[in-house]
């Protein structure tokens, strides 16, 4: 089935460690996004990518890094510079080609906890 797969579902990180969250899609979408959701809050954009080998910072990019080497994959690294990384992370994709729009399709999320 077509969709977006995020892994792992739960992730625990020690302070000072970098961790990478995986996001893979088989929808042939050009655009991919990473959002952070804190309890009782909305979705805040971390990074987005409209095409392979290109990505832009969102509203809260500090302490995060991404890569887009393949169309299907958009991994997010939470670095030790992110002071408060405990949150729910959602990956999404959409057609995003030349201004075309469809809805964004979301993965099931990764819940990251710093221990």
Task: Report the interface residues with another protein, using CB under 8 A.
Answer: 31, 33, 35, 40-43, 45, 48, 50, 58, 88, 90, 92, 94, 96, 99, 101-109, 111
Cβ 37 to another protein, closest distance in Å? 8
Nearest to 32 by CA among 107, 111, 112: 107
**E-assigned strands of the chain?**
4-7, 10-13, 19-25, 31-37, 43-51, 54-57, 64-66, 76-78, 87-94, 105-106, 110-114
Residue 87 or 114 with smaller CB distance to another protein: 87
Residue 29 or 72 with smaller CB distance to another protein: 29
Whole-angstrom distance between the N-terminal and C-terminal Cα of the chain? 35
Cβ 23 to another protein, closest distance in Å? 13
Cβ 73 to another protein, closest distance in Å? 18
């Amino acid at each position: 089935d077509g969709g977006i797969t995020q892994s792992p579902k739960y992730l625990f990180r020690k302070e000072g460690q970098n961790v990478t969250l995986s996001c893979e899609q088989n929808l042939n979408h050009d655009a991919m996004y990473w959002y952070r959701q804190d309890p009782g809050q909305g979705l805040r954009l971390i990074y987005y990518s409209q095409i392979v080998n290109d990505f832009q910072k969102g509203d809260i990019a500090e302490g995060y890094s991404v890569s887009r080497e393949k169309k299907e994959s958009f991994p997010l690294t939470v670095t030790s510079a992110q002071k408060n990384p405990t949150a729910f992370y959602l990956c999404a994709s959409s057609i995003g080609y030349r201004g075309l729009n469809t809805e964004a399709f979301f993965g099931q999320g990764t819940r990251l906890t710093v221990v």
